[in-house]
Amino acid sequence: MRIAVLALLAAFAAGSASYSFPSQTPAVAPQTDRDLESAQFREPDFEKQVQQQAETDKTWKAASDGYMQMEKITYRTKVGDLDIPAFVFLPLKPRGTRGHPALVWVHENIRGHLYEHYIPYVREATGKGYVVIAPEYRGSVGYGKGFYDAIDYGGAEVDDVVTAVDVLKSRYTLVDPSRIGIIGWSHGGMITLLAIFRNPALFRSAVAMVPVTNLFQRLAWKGVERQKQAIDPQNRYGGLPHDRRDVYKERSPLYLVDKLQIPLYVGVTKNDEDVNIEEDMQLVDALRARKPALAETTVYDSPPGGHTFDRRVDTKTWQPENTREQRDSWNRVWTFLDWNLDPFHDAGSSAVSTFHQGR
């Protein structure tokens, strides 16, 4: 029934010449509203998804060799009902206790996973000295029907991601608990924003790229009934926006901007056909008006790929496409994160820190 979401995401990605969003989306996306509505009633092939996830794990393992150490772990979410799979990537030559900052890396898509197009960027992160943990939060594909059906859009999935901080602190002594950041894209950008607004002092800094920001706007523009079915197939919200305004509001980052207490970078683009600029500019304008000392924002004009402009890669080499806008975006992201998390400093050593409290 919910395979329509996967088909939609494949359609959005089809504009990329170098990379089409991978393994667990249909090879051919439905092209018409009738096709999409019909696809909603077809059950995903969960066994096939599990097999495809195993192949994805192998791809990540192979891509890690010579660049970083990779582990696949599970941990109990703070909600207490599920074990959450997660990728953990460590620098090849780890420092001692508290020697590294860490990033919680939040994948995109309502029905997604840690896509292979992140390979060059995770390699770069660990090369700089970051430890990266990438939770496969509830609703992600590749982990069976029960995990898939546990989707809680903007709800418990955020707790799944936030619990990763406890995992870093308890299992990885090389991580400096005072230097943990979070980064996410699209739906993962929404989770990132909700995580820092609900837990204002948990992270040191955050990056949200092309994030979902306003569920009222999103449902109005994408089709209320169809989008509601995509994000809330189990009816955890308890109704449509006019029935449960409070639920939709508390899961829309736009309405929580005043809770921001840490440095935040947001990047959006005018030619985004997924999270339309009319939705994202509401967040950008609110941050510029109400949190100018903490928030940095960039609005791109029409970069190749639109919504996916910063993640397009060559699948043969796993190298970035390297458009001008993609290079600029990652330069800004790394400059922002490096300033706030200082990956080049070993906090466990006796060397003088270059860590900055603010800019």
pLDDT tens digits for range 186-206:
999 999 999 999 999 999 999
Q: What local confidence, expressed as pLDDT, does residue 290 receive?
A: 98
Q: What local confidence, expressed as pLDDT, does residue 96 receive?
A: 95
Asked if residue 263 has pLDDT above 60, the reply is: yes
Residue 350 — pLDDT band, cuts 50, 70, 90? low
In 3D, which of 207, 357, 182 has the Cα closest to residue 287?
207
Q: What local confidence, expressed as pLDDT, does residue 351 receive?
A: 52
Contacts of residue 248, defined as CB under 8 A and 6 or more positions apart, other chains included, come to 215, 216, 219, 237, 241
Asked if residue 58 has pLDDT above 90, the reply is: yes
Residue 30 — pLDDT band, cuts 50, 70, 90? very low
Asked if residue 306 has pLDDT above 80, the reply is: yes
Asked if residue 183 has pLDDT above 50, the reply is: yes
Count of CA atoms in the C-beta half-sphere (13 A) of 186: 21
Give the CA dihedral 155, 249, 211, 159, nearest 10 degrees: -20
Return the percentage of the chain with pLDDT > 70, whole number: 86
Q: What local confidence, expressed as pLDDT, does residue 43 receive?
A: 82
Q: Which sign does the torsion angle of CA 302, 19, 119, 158 carry?
A: positive
> Cα–Cα distance between 281 and 283 in angstroms, integer?
5
Asked if residue 33 has pLDDT above 70, the reply is: no
> Cα–Cα distance between 75 and 61 in angstroms, integer?
20
> Cα angle at 326 between 321 and 329, to 5 degrees?
155
Mean pLDDT of the chain: 89
Residue 12 — pLDDT band, cuts 50, 70, 90? very low
Look up the pTM and report it.
0.88
Under 8 Å between Cβ of 101 and 131: yes
185 vs 31: which has the higher pLDDT: 185
